Structure 1
Amino acid sequence: MTCFRTLAFAALCATSGVLVLAAKSSAQENIDCGYPLNNNERTYCAEKALKEAEARMAAAYVKLHARVVELDNALPEHLKGSPKALEEAQAAWTDYADKDCKAYAFPFMGGTRGQDLYRNCKIVLTMKRTEDLTATLEDYAD
Structure 2
Amino acid sequence: MNLPLSSFAPLLAAGLMAATAWPAGAQENIDCGYPLNNNERTYCADKALKDAEAAMAAAYVTLHARVVALDDALPDHLKGSPAALEGAQTAWADYADKDCKAYAFPFMGGTRGQELYRNCKIVLTMKRTDDLTATLEDYGD
With normalisation by structure 1, the TM-score equals 0.83
Amino acid at match of 1:101: C
Could you give the per-residue CA deviations for residues 39-98 of structure 1, whole angstroms, max 9, x where no partner exists?
000000000000000000000000000000000000000000000000000000000000
Tell me how far 1:29 sits from its aligned partner.
1.1
Equivalent residues, number: 121
Tell me how far 1:25 sits from its aligned partner.
1.4
Q: Secondary structure at the match of 1:97?
A: helix
Where does residue 131 of structure 1 map in the other structure? 130
Q: Secondary structure at the match of 2:31?
A: coil
Relative contact order, higher structure (CA 8 A, sep 6+): 2
Amino acid at match of 1:35: Y
Q: Distance in 2 between matches of 1:75 and 1:28?
A: 49
Question: 4+ residue runs of structure 1 moved beyond 2 angstroms?
Answer: none
Q: Distance in 1 between matches of 2:23 and 2:80?
A: 47
Tell me how far 1:30 sits from its aligned partner.
0.7
State the identity as a percent. Answer: 84
Where does residue 109 of structure 2 map in the other structure? 110
Where does residue 16 of structure 2 map in the other structure? none
Structure showing greater radius of gyration is 1
1:30 corresponds to 2:29? yes
Tell me how far 1:24 sits from its aligned partner.
2.3
Q: Distance in 1 between matches of 2:125 and 2:57?
A: 10
